[in-house]
Structure 1
Amino acid sequence: MRKKRARRSILTVAGIVAVIAIIIALLVVFSLNRSSDSKVDVEASSSDHGLVVGPDDAKHKVVIYEDFLCPYCGDFEAATRDDLAELAAEGKVQVDYRPFVLLNQAGPYSELATSAFAVVQEKSGDKVAKEFHDLLYENQPAETGPFPKAPELVDLAVEAGAEESAVKDGITKLAGKPWAEAATKAAADDGVQGTPTVILDGKQFQEGNTVEEYAANLVKKVS
């Protein structure tokens, strides 16, 4: 009798362990599927000084002036990227990302990254440039450094989908510097003095005391 009870207990425990293992496996698969599906695939196109996502006939037009070294831009990008991409895919908003060089006094990285963005956009197209744009923020250095060098940005460009042979020389030799200078001049001409600066439907958007509030309020406005 005791042996039968012990056997039943072992079988019960084994059954519970098996069920738990199945549940964990299902949760892992669900999590992986969710992660792979979470990034919205939205069409991108070039603007005069940046990159546009969303249709021309969208109800709301957003312009984001940004510096790839600006930590607030990084926080703002992380807080808005997925929502703005989804809203752009739904046709509710068009977003014009306009990187330029603001923090050049901190070192050469801002110019290097902006120049690299221009090279990737020219040589590999807008879709790859958008992915590169996002990767620059995901791998953003501290404002005080140490800063990635050109070879590291080439690696990011390749990760974004660029052919190394198409972008390596341009990134290394700052071939996009004239574009970066023109974008910086255009931002200054538009009265931009800090980053991120957001223009919503032709007017500067300033609702929020923190980056998180600023981002949430913008998404709410264009939803």
Structure 2
Amino acid sequence: MAQKKSSHRTAEEKAATAAKRDARRARTERARAQAEERRKAAKRKEQLTRFGLVAGVLALIVGGYFLVTNLGSDKPDTAPSGASGNYGMVIGDADAPKEIVVYEDFLCPFCGQLEKTVRDQLDAAVEAGEVNVEYRPLPFLERISDYSPESANAFAVVLDASGPEVAKAFHDLLFDNQPSEEGPFPSKDDLVDLAVEAGAKESDVRPGIEDMAFEGWVDAAGDAASKDGINSTPTVFVDGQKAEGQTLADIAKAMVG
């Protein structure tokens, strides 16, 4: 009897020991599982943190790009010396009985045609003190070619460096050498050559022409014209009234007729 009782206790002890062993294994497995879950969670957090930093940097880059794009040119709209307060250049007697304003684009073919039609008579009227003319170059056709803002900037550079007389000669040469809207378009070197031909000193105008020194002013001129309802070139005002007509000849007549 005593031996049987001992055997029974031994079996119970073995069972208890096995149960404890299984319990330890279960706890160990749970601990391992929890540790693995914590490791994975820490890794996910690290990845999210890195992703957040990258996304933040990308947001700054993209946001900065759109900010610069929406602001347009980052150059100041400082006016060239000799420019009017309306983004133009005035030639002729300030007290002349007739005042003309011409919105133009050096790439616009109709501006070129009007210029050729009225130039001689208009220049004579200016010389006689009968009229003053304000030329306001615009970059309206930049959707076609960069030559539109580049030539307007070059005009501003020449005005700033060499004064109205040389700028007027340069203005005339730009129209005399006007490219087709289909191109090919004059290079900045070509613009420098025309400026020198007009009477400017190369060292005075090349840096500003190459670096688009008055790009901000040119952009501001275009914005101001659009706000004033100018949506095409040439647009001409004679004594404050818009010159109307079905043809360029009608507009020319209002200017010099």
TM-score by length of 2: 0.66
1:77 aligns with 2:115: yes
What amino acid sits opposite 2:205 in the alignment?
Answer: V
- 2:250 aligned partner: 213
Residue 185 of structure 1 and its aligned partner are, at CA, apart by 1.6
- 2:242 aligned partner: 204
Question: Any idea what SS the aligned residue of 1:103 has?
Answer: helix
- Map 1:9-48; keep pairs closer than 5 Å: 46-48=83-85
Separation in 1, partners of 2:251, 2:243: 9
Question: Any idea what SS the aligned residue of 1:63 has?
Answer: strand
1:57 aligns with 2:95: yes
- 2:215 aligned partner: 177
Residue 154 of structure 1 and its aligned partner are, at CA, apart by 0.3
Question: Any idea what SS the aligned residue of 1:46 has?
Answer: coil
- 1:102 aligned partner: 140
What amino acid sits opposite 2:246 in the alignment?
Answer: N
- 1:165 aligned partner: 203
Residue 217 of structure 1 and its aligned partner are, at CA, apart by 3.7
Larger radius of gyration: 2
- Asked if 2 retains the 8 angstrom alpha-carbon contact of 1:58 and 1:91, the reply is yes
- Asked if 2 retains the 8 angstrom alpha-carbon contact of 1:76 and 1:215, the reply is yes
Residue 195 of structure 1 and its aligned partner are, at CA, apart by 0.4
What amino acid sits opposite 1:214 in the alignment?
Answer: I
Structure that is richer in helix per residue = 2
Residue 209 of structure 1 and its aligned partner are, at CA, apart by 2.1
Question: Any idea what SS the aligned residue of 2:83 has?
Answer: strand
Residue 189 of structure 1 and its aligned partner are, at CA, apart by 2.1
Root mean square deviation of aligned Cα: 1.2
- 2:178 aligned partner: 140
Separation in 1, partners of 2:228, 2:98: 19
- Asked if 1 retains the 8 angstrom alpha-carbon contact of 2:158 and 2:200, the reply is yes
Q: How many residues align?
A: 175
TM-score by length of 1: 0.76
Residue 210 of structure 1 and its aligned partner are, at CA, apart by 1.9
Per-residue deviation, residues 130-154 of structure 1 (Å, max 9, x unmatched):
1111100000000111100100000
Q: Runs of 4+ in structure 1 displaced over 2 angstroms?
A: none
Separation in 1, partners of 2:213, 2:100: 28
Equivalent pairs: percent with the same residue? 49
- 1:128 aligned partner: 166
- 1:116 aligned partner: 154
- Asked if 1 retains the 8 angstrom alpha-carbon contact of 2:157 and 2:205, the reply is yes
Question: Any idea what SS the aligned residue of 1:69 has?
Answer: coil
- Asked if 1 retains the 8 angstrom alpha-carbon contact of 2:236 and 2:251, the reply is no
Separation in 2, partners of 1:154, 1:55: 29
Question: Any idea what SS the aligned residue of 1:47 has?
Answer: coil
Which ranges of structure 2 fall in alignment gaps of 5 or more residues? 1-81
- 2:232 aligned partner: 194
Residue 93 of structure 1 and its aligned partner are, at CA, apart by 1.0
Separation in 1, partners of 2:120, 2:214: 27
What amino acid sits opposite 1:103 in the alignment?
Answer: L
Per-residue deviation, residues 33-54 of structure 1 (Å, max 9, x unmatched):
xxxxxxxxxxxx6322111111
Question: Any idea what SS the aligned residue of 2:140 has?
Answer: coil
The range that moved more, 159-168 or 87-96, is 87-96
